[in-house]
Structure 1
Amino acid sequence: MRVFPHDELVAFVYREARLLDERRYEEWLALYADDARYWMPLSPDQPDTGLHGALMDEDRLLLRIRIERLAGRRTFSQQPASRGHHLLQQPHVDRADHERGAYVLRTPFHYVETRRDEQTLFAGWYTHELAVCDDTLRIRVKRVDLVNADAPLGSIHLPV
């Protein structure tokens, strides 16, 4: 199994954000494992169980549907399209199990989403659980902990 050094793990997280910023959603989705989960819990201390609600809790199929909807001509809520920009601090490798090909990174972020004259700022922490699949890094779980996840939030149109 291929071993991924620190620099490649960090570059992977930066690349994911750049693909989203550039609206390259097919390439972004390709970073996810077949059994992936994109999860935005309602609170930072929320345990990882199916017993709690979430702002988003999507598997790869739901992510596929989301990006198809964003690209659709009949998605009137996205005309004009929303734009997003990620500002990431240096990702920190919390765990690296080279033998199992499993890595966990935590990244503080600021994210702005804009559409027409409306701009929304989100801040929080990403936790990426990465796995090696066929000698390639893939996202198994992306957890997005918003600082204000328990506050009333407007629509979040794009993947944060």
Structure 2
Amino acid sequence: MSSFEMTMPYQRPSDAQASDMETTFRLSQFLYAEAQAIDERRFDDWLAMLAEDLHYEAPARYNRLPRERTKEWASEDEAKHFEDTKEYMQLRVKRLQTDKSWSEDPPSRTRHLITNVQVAHSVSANAYIVDSNFSVYRARAADDEEFFFGTRHDHIRENSSAPAGFEIARRTILFDQTLILSANLGIFF
């Protein structure tokens, strides 16, 4: 590895094969529908896209010298911006739907732009590894604006009982920023 290569906190399995165009299109549409559900505050629809065994995390990122690139991302036992399950996501949504969510009063307006979707079959049948880049704009109140950029590494399974036919089983969110200056991370990525 050259000193300029980035070491990611995950590795795509070596036996993962690129997906066909139809599957890539269907999964891209699924991710776009997910982003739209969040932006339109249809959180119950969004929750239906998440697997019961969901693992949703965002490891911290560190500025490192070239010789320490392997330590750019927090390891499993180090700091994370968040590490949630579906049960916790349901609690977060339930709180957003009450008047007790002070950090989201008034509620944030978000716009998720999802790009560079790459799909590969996973080791198991009907499971996919999906990488995508994101840009999230957040506006709240009159003068509170923020931008978030990064990449997402998703494990998505086919599930005929899920509304869209797919469910997100794991999401690792990798922010480009090393320091997130947001007053809170009450929005979803």
The TM-score range, normalised by the shorter chain, is 0.7 to 0.9
How far has the Cα of 1:48 moved from its partner? 6.3
Partner of 1:18: 36
Residue ranges of structure 2 left out of the alignment (5+ in a row): 1-19, 63-71
In the alignment, the residues of structure 2 paired with residue 110 and residue 99 of structure 1 have an alpha-carbon distance, to the nearest angstrom, of 30
Residue ranges of structure 1 left out of the alignment (5+ in a row): none
Could you list the per-position Cα deviations for residues 35-70 of structure 1 after superposition, in whole angstroms to 9, with x for gaps in the alignment?
001111102853663x12200100001100111111
Q: Does 1:92 align with 2:121?
A: no
Partner of 2:126: 101
- The within-5 A match list for 1:67-146 is 67-93=93-119, 95-97=120-122, 100-116=125-141, 117-134=143-160, 136-146=165-175
Partner of 2:179: 151
Q: TM-score, normalised by structure 1?
A: 0.87
How far has the Cα of 1:98 moved from its partner? 8.3
Partner of 1:31: 49
Q: Which moved more, 1:118-127 or 1:78-87?
A: 78-87
CA RMSD, aligned part only? 2.1
In the alignment, the residues of structure 2 paired with residue 99 and residue 128 of structure 1 have an alpha-carbon distance, to the nearest angstrom, of 15
Partner of 2:29, secondary structure, is helix
Runs of 4+ in structure 1 deviating by more than 3 angstroms, as ranges, are: 44-48
Paired residues of 1:21 and 1:85 also in contact (CA < 8 A): yes
Paired residues of 2:151 and 2:173 also in contact (CA < 8 A): yes
In the alignment, the residues of structure 2 paired with residue 99 and residue 118 of structure 1 have an alpha-carbon distance, to the nearest angstrom, of 44
Q: Which moved more, 1:66-75 or 1:150-159?
A: 150-159
Paired residues of 1:10 and 1:90 also in contact (CA < 8 A): no
Change (3 A) 1:153 1:96: same
Q: TM-score, normalised by structure 2?
A: 0.74
Q: Does 1:9 align with 2:37?
A: no
In the alignment, the residues of structure 2 paired with residue 76 and residue 99 of structure 1 have an alpha-carbon distance, to the nearest angstrom, of 42
Is the strand fraction higher in 1 or 2?
1
Paired residues of 2:60 and 2:74 also in contact (CA < 8 A): no
Partner of 1:7, secondary structure, is helix
User: Highest Rg: 1 or 2?
Assistant: 2
Paired residues of 2:74 and 2:80 also in contact (CA < 8 A): no
User: Percentage identity across aligned positions?
Assistant: 23
Partner of 1:90, secondary structure, is strand
Q: Does 1:64 align with 2:93?
A: no
